[in-house]
Amino acid sequence: MNIEHLVQVALDQGEGILRLAPNWVPRSFCIPGRRIKLHPDDYYALGAHRGGIDERWFSSTVPADNGPETAPDEGLSYLVVQDGQETHKVLLRDAIDLAGRAMIGSRLMDVYGRWPMFAKFFDNKGGLPFHMHQMAKDAERVGQQPKPEAYYFPRQLNNYGADFPYTYFGFVPGVTREDVRQCLLDWDKGDNKITYLSTAYRLQLGTGWDVPAGVLHAPGSLCTYEPQYASDVFGMFQSLVNEVPIEWDMLVKNVPDAHKQDLDYILDMLDWETNLDPQFREHHFMAPKPVRPLAEMEQEGYQDMWISYRSPGFSAKETTVLPGQSVTLVDQGCYGLIMLQGHGTMGRWTVETPAMIRFGQLTNDEFLVTEQAAQQGVKVTNQSDTEPLVMLRHYGPGNPDLTI
């Protein structure tokens, strides 16, 4: 198979809009919330020993880090290419290596040499463990990248809140290193009680949060859209979640071997100033903000809202085309997208939001728009006269359109 040929075919056939295949990821420490449209029989498609599939990754060039049984392409997105009568799949990572400037543009390729972000849905029945993602100084020590991230809670994927729709962030002001050290010393006593040192915030549909690297958080049980920097580093700081013990290895997964029992090193991985910020909500909560005056956009048949705008590493929008309307979306940067609701057309493509997806099935709901196509404008038509067409769009760092 000539990958260069297939990448060029993909660029040509979609006129710069590239179709992507669904990308499912399991987590052994999670119970799926069953809201990401996967067929009920397929949540354990990779085997019960691997855990339930509770995540779908978008526009990803980053492999998942799920232990020794992780498949080589787990977490990596594929382009879907129709070449004559045959359908092929090409790793998005390989396509960008070959044709990065034609896909994501010179601005990102010159600085990063890759597509430096991805997004995901994560969907859990219960809350996740209290954990953090390493800052640059600590990620680099294990050959990784930092992982700032953001959350948004789509109404379309949250018909119920599951077991714990609250998220713990950071520490209550006044918590000390010694308080947290004691929690780590109590790791094998069952619940190390570290969330006693934190505050849980009730999650609100249609809003989100910014979560910088180094900040402890225990995401709640709403199905969540998560744009993030392209990395999969983490450290669990909670020893018991939903009555399931968490192994010490999950705390030190991305810690150098010489420091896996070094509590001072582990404590130093935390951004203490941000974790103890008494105005954490004011600085990190994100209500949607219109890209332009809302009345002007609605007159033109659409709504475009910034939903992730606090991180320098990425940004995201929720874009709605009103029933029966067409709009040309113009952006200065490349972006990935996932359809949330409705059906219609986007450029040459038919787009739709499936009600249920079999593991391994292809869909028409996920795409990557190249920088050139974004700048020329993408025409989107809502073919329903009753239902809005809604999509989430995720952008890389330094988005020229982000002026908030």
pLDDT tens string 239-286: 999 888 999 999 999 999 999 999 999 999 999 999 999 999 999 999
Phi, psi dihedral angles at 338 (to 5 degrees): -130, 135
The per-residue pLDDT for 136 is 97
Averaged over 383-396, what is the pLDDT? Answer: 98
Instruction: Label residue 67 by pLDDT band (50, 70, 90).
Output: confident
CATH code matching the domain that covers 289-395, chosen among 3.90.180.10, 3.40.50.2300, 3.90.1560.10, 2.60.120.10:
2.60.120.10
Cα 49 to Cα 44, 230, 267: the distances in Å are 9, 26, 31
Averaged over 89-108, what is the pLDDT? Answer: 98
The Cα–Cα gap between 397 and 104 comes to 12
The Cα–Cα gap between 250 and 238 comes to 10
- The residue whose two tokens read 């979609």 is 14
The Cα–Cα gap between 297 and 328 comes to 12
* AA letter at 92: L
Cα 217 to Cα 55, 197, 316: the distances in Å are 18, 12, 21
Q: What one-character-per-residue DSSP string does 178-229 give?
A: HHHHHHHHTGGGS---GGGGSEEEE--TT-EEEE-TT--EE--SS-EEEEEE
pLDDT > 90 in the chain, percent: 96
Question: How many angstroms from the chain centroid is the CA of residue 389?
Answer: 21
Tokens (6 digits) for 28 = 């052994």
- pLDDT at 390 exceeding the cut of 90: yes
The per-residue pLDDT for 346 is 98
Q: Provide CATH code, domain 27-57+115-286.
A: 2.60.120
Tokens (6 digits) for 373 = 């196509």
The Cα–Cα gap between 288 and 207 comes to 6
The Cα–Cα gap between 332 and 376 comes to 9
The per-residue pLDDT for 315 is 98
The residues near 140 (Cβ < 8 Å, ≥ 6 apart) are none
Q: Which residues pair with 315 in a beta bridge?
A: 395
pLDDT tens string 3-28: 999 999 999 999 999 999 999 999 88
Q: Compute the mean pLDDT over every residue in the chain, rounded to the nearest whole number.
A: 97
Question: Which of 210, 188, 198, 213 minimizes the C-alpha distance to 269?
Answer: 213
Going 335 to 340 to 344 to 348, the CA torsion angle's sign is: positive
The per-residue pLDDT for 242 is 86
Q: 229 with 135: CB under 8 angstroms?
A: no
Cα 287 to Cα 203, 283, 309, 310, 349: the distances in Å are 12, 12, 10, 11, 31
Residues of the chain within CATH 2.60.120.10 domain(s) are: 289-395
pLDDT tens string 327-351: 999 999 999 999 999 999 999 999 9
Distance, first Cα to last Cα, the chain: 45
pLDDT tens string 76-98: 999 999 999 999 999 999 999 99
pLDDT > 70 in the chain, percent: 100
